[in-house]
Structures are given as structure tokens and as C-alpha cells.
Structure 1
Amino acid sequence: MKFVILIHSTPEPWGHPTGDFVAEHQALPQEQRDDMNAHFDQVLTQLQEAGELVGGEALGDPRSSTLFRWADGDPIASDGPYAETKEQFAGFFLIDVASRERAEEIAFHFAGPGETIELRPTMWPGGDEQ
């Protein structure tokens, strides 16, 4: 089963890893931040070695995005960001695991101070979750 782990964050300035730029993360003692970063690197290594990590990407500053919408029968383009909130889509990881329970177990490790993690199953064009 494939799932996408969506990272929502509010870094200021925008940068990656986003946690390094989020006030809640920056407020933690340096030793704790170092431990969290080491743990996250270890999780990614384990996922790669197990063949569960399909891929992932960090996304650029939302202010650099271009939005395309349909209006009056034609597509129109406008400057981003898309969301009217401070929290923005910062990146994603695609995983391929045996069960939703395993996906939830993995997603738990992606949640950090000041960030929101969304776990969502992928779908085939026909609509069945995979």
C-alpha cells in the first residue's frame, strides 16, 4: 500500500529542513534538536534499507509558486501562495508499506514541533486505494 506523508509547516524564513526554521523547534535545547535530527536521519535510513521509502522532495518557498485555475472557460495563472493561512505545504515522502498501521507508525516519526503531518493513501486512476 502506498501512502504520502505530507509535511505542512510555517518556517520563517523558508528553508529546509523546515523544522530548523520553525520557532517551536528553535525554542528547544540544541541537544534535543540534535537528537531529533539524528533520530529522523536514522528513520529515513531504515525506511530506505527496508525498501519502504519510495521517494520525497522538499518544496520551495510558497511565494515562488504560480497558481493555475479554471475561470470563465479558460485557465488563468496567478502568483502564489495558494493557501491563505501561514501554514504551507513544505514537502512530501512517498512510502510503500504492508498496512495502514505501518504507515501510521512511520508518519509518527515525521511530526515535529511547529509542523503538521498528514498521512494519505494514494489512489489508482480508477479510484481504488493502493
Structure 2
Amino acid sequence: MKYMIMITMNPAAWDAVGEDERNEVMARIDPFMQKLTESGELLGTQALGEPKESTVVRVRDGVPVVTDGPFAESKEFLAGYYLVECDSKERAIEIAGLVPDAHINAMEVRPVVFSSGVES
């Protein structure tokens, strides 16, 4: 079963940890991904830009309406994700707990119910 582990980031929480701890977290990411790649469980991962860099597109009466940034104000935002394939939801939850910044950011585990198989 495929699961998406979505990283919800609160910039204030990230800023509250010291530079040494942030560097330690960043140093643990590559070994974490390597371990999941070797086990065959990591299907992909992406880090996303901050909401201030986003553009929202809505189609109203057949016309695209484009605005800068997110629609709603929020202290937290989707910062990225890991797409994993594992035997159970329990294993996906275990993996989410191993994400190097799980002690700072929230990890939401959600089953993937449809996948097109389109590769980038």
C-alpha cells in the first residue's frame, strides 16, 4: 500500500530551534532517505517552496482567476512529502516517526487511493 507522509511546517517552530539542531536535522535527511531507498519503501520525495512563492488558480465561469499566495492565512503550511510503499499503515506511521524533523514539524500519514503512474 502507498502512503503519503506530508510534512506540515510551522516556521516559528523551526526558527525556535538552534542552528546546531537545524544542521543536525538536515544532516540526517540523506541517510534516512538512503535507508528507505535500500528497503524499497521510498517512492519519492519533494520539498515545496513557502506559500509566499505560490500562485493560486481558480476557474470561475470558465475563466482562470490567478492570485498570488495561498487563499487562507495560516501559521502552518505543507512543506513537502515522502511517498512510501509499505506493508501496513503501522509501518507508514513508524516511518513518519523516523523523519529527521518529526520532532519539530507534524507528519500526516495518509493512504494513497489513486495513483496515475505518471513519472516526472
Compute the TM-score of the two structures, normalised by the length of structure 2.
0.78
Is the CA contact (8 Å cut-off) linking 1:63 and 1:79 kept in structure 2? yes
1:123 equivalent to 2:113? Answer: yes
Any idea what SS the aligned residue of 1:60 has? coil
Gaps of at least 5 residues in structure 1 are 13-18, 126-130
Q: In 2, Cα distance between the equivalents of 1:121 and 1:78?
A: 30
Aligned length in residues = 113
Q: In 2, Cα distance between the equivalents of 1:41 and 1:102?
A: 20
Q: Deviations over 1:26-49 (max 9, x none)?
A: 27xx3x656555554433221010
Is the CA contact (8 Å cut-off) linking 1:25 and 1:112 kept in structure 2? no
Deviation at 1:84, TM superposition (A): 1.2
Aligned to 1:8: 8
Aligned mate of 1:66, from 14, 32, 55: 55
Gaps of at least 5 residues in structure 2 are 116-120
Q: In 1, Cα distance between the equivalents of 2:89 and 2:31?
A: 21
**Identity, % of aligned pairs?**
40
Is the CA contact (8 Å cut-off) linking 1:64 and 1:80 kept in structure 2? yes
- Cα gap change, 1:53/1:72 in structure 2, threshold over 3 Å: closer, same or farther? same
CA RMSD of aligned residues (A): 2.4
- Greater RCO (CA < 8 Å, at least 6 residues apart): 2
Following superposition, which runs of at least 4 residues in structure 1 exceed 4 angstroms of deviation?
Answer: 32-40
1:23 equivalent to 2:12? Answer: no
Q: In 1, Cα distance between the equivalents of 2:87 and 2:63?
A: 42
Aligned to 1:112: 103
Any idea what SS the aligned residue of 1:86 has? coil
